[in-house]
């Protein structure tokens, strides 16, 4: 089993930043970037858990919910990656860290 702590920590940092962000920053694009991240994390988790199935789309629950969407999708992906390859985990961590730069 892989230690997914680096992914969980990276996801939690982004979620905390989004929760602390002022409404104006969320409106200027941070919420949209967060939602895009949450959707991608959810899709990756779905593909790992249900190979061959089309991932379900994550709905837009609004700018004030996006931090929780990132956290939930990120934690779901972390659980799915526990039995995956180290390369898959490293790729996910790198993806989240790049997203943090955009958010």
Pair of tokens at residue 91 = 């790729």
**pTM, two decimal places:** 0.95
* DSSP output for 31-94: HHHHHHHHHHHHHHHHHHHSTTSPPPPPP---TTTHHHHHHHHHHHHHHHHTTS-HHHHHHHHH
d(CA 13, CA 18): 9
pLDDT in tens, 40-94: 999 999 999 999 999 999 999 999 999 999 999 999 999 999 999 999 999 999 9
Confidence band, pLDDT 50/70/90 cuts, at residue 1: confident
pLDDT in tens, 6-43: 999 999 999 999 999 999 999 999 999 999 999 999 99
């Amino acid at each position: 089993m892989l230690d997914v702590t680096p992914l969980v920590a990276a996801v939690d940092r982004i979620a905390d930043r989004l929760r602390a962000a002022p409404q104006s920053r969320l409106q200027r694009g941070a919420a949209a970037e967060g939602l895009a991240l949450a959707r991608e994390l959810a899709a990756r988790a779905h593909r790992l858990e249900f190979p061959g199935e089309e991932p379900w789309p994550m709905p837009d629950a609004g700018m004030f919910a996006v931090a929780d969407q990132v956290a939930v999708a990120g934690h779901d992906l972390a659980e799915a990656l526990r039995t995956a390859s180290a390369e898959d985990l490293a790729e996910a961590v790198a993806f989240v860290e790049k997203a943090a730069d955009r958010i």
